[in-house]
Amino acid sequence: MSVTKPDNKVSIEVVIEFLHQLQDQICQALENSDGQAKFVEDNWKRPGGGGGRTRVMTNGAVIEQGGVNFSHVFGDQMPASATAHRPELEGRSWQACGVSLVIHPNNPHIPTSHANVRFFIAEKEGEAPVWWFGGGFDLTPFYPVEQDVIHWHQTAFDICKPFGEKVYSDYKKWCDEYFYLKHRDETRGVGGLFFDDLNQWGFDKSFEFMQTVGLGFIDAYVPIVERNKSTEYSEAQRQFQLYRRGRYVEFNLVFDRGTLFGLQTGGRTESILMSMPPLARWEYNFQPAEDSLEANLYQRYLKPQDWLSLEN
């Protein structure tokens, strides 16, 4: 994949060019892995400015429902969700673009996964633009396989290493802290990478990192899908998957800043809530059986830890 090099000039056009290509490449990789279903594209426009192309796959051989969305939206005034944390953005016009995806597989032995890469810029005549990159990816297993979790984090480590010795540890920690359900006192899954407000490296290097994270999702996730898609499962395991999907819903509707930003900026609701699973359930005071695979998820995997140290 190649895009025109911006020579450290802040350019949303070159970011959009890359994001279009990234959406295409991720969709193709997931279609190849599913082997049956195809993504259906839905182009939309935002009344306040901008639009996007939503791509959704349903009822696949592997993927029960998944979406890979591109959006580019803009406006004259920032929403409250942005200016509350960044008061310097008040009175500026803004643009935001990104690719966001969530994959909900059929098989409980394949983790749900989320990834997002994005760029934001706010401008005001006579002043320097305020801009940053953000993104990351995280993994939400139901019946975790240690090898898969190590592979996921090793891929994240390899992505970060050329950009600095502490980048992986810092962005892993940020991911563990961000994808945390305070009211449940548990992480959403086994983490990955999360970064935001990235501009301190300058445009070129920051953009390069965003590209590497976006493309790295394919290398991180597809091998896990391939290793587990033929694993047999029981109806009880399917029901546990649906129960744990409820946690995913809780996080996205209660804590996720991207969901809040999209709704407050008048984004397309169907595309924003594409991240919801097609089926989920809740059960009062569920307690996993002692020494069960379900208990192992809670006791070992829903706690931040150094997964790469397990290889030593």
- Residue 57 in 3-state DSSP? strand
Query: Residue 264: in which H helix or E strand, if any?
Result: helix 257-264
Asked whether residue 104 is marked as a ligand-binding residue, the answer is yes
Cα separation, 298 vs 168, in Å, equals 24
Per the annotation, the verdict on 114 as an active-site residue is yes
Would you give the distance in Å from CA 267 to the centre of its chain? 18
CA nearest to 69, candidates 106, 31, 133, 115: 115
Given the residues 72, 109, 114, 151, select the one marked as catalytic: 114
Asked whether residue 20 is marked as a ligand-binding residue, the answer is no
Asked whether residue 100 is marked as a ligand-binding residue, the answer is yes
Asked whether residue 116 is marked as a ligand-binding residue, the answer is yes
Cα separation, 279 vs 207, in Å, equals 36
Query: Residue 43: in which H helix or E strand, if any?
Result: strand 40-45
CA nearest to 262, candidates 11, 56, 75: 75
Asked whether residue 107 is marked as a ligand-binding residue, the answer is no
Asked whether residue 202 is marked as a ligand-binding residue, the answer is no
Asked whether residue 151 is marked as a ligand-binding residue, the answer is no
DSSP 288: P
Asked whether residue 268 is marked as a ligand-binding residue, the answer is yes
Would you give the distance in Å from CA 309 to the centre of its chain? 24
Asked whether residue 32 is marked as a ligand-binding residue, the answer is no
Judge whether 50 and 72 are in contact, CB under 8 Å.
yes
Asked whether residue 109 is marked as a ligand-binding residue, the answer is no
CA nearest to 59, candidates 82, 37, 92: 37
Judge whether 15 and 4 are in contact, CB under 8 Å.
no
Rg of the chain (C-alpha set): 19
Summarize the annotated binding site for substrate as residue ranges. 100, 116-118, 266-268
Summarize the annotated binding site as residue ranges. 100, 104, 114, 116-118, 153, 183, 266-268
Summarize the annotated binding site for a divalent metal cation as residue ranges. 104, 114, 153, 183
Q: What positions carry a catalytic annotation?
A: 114
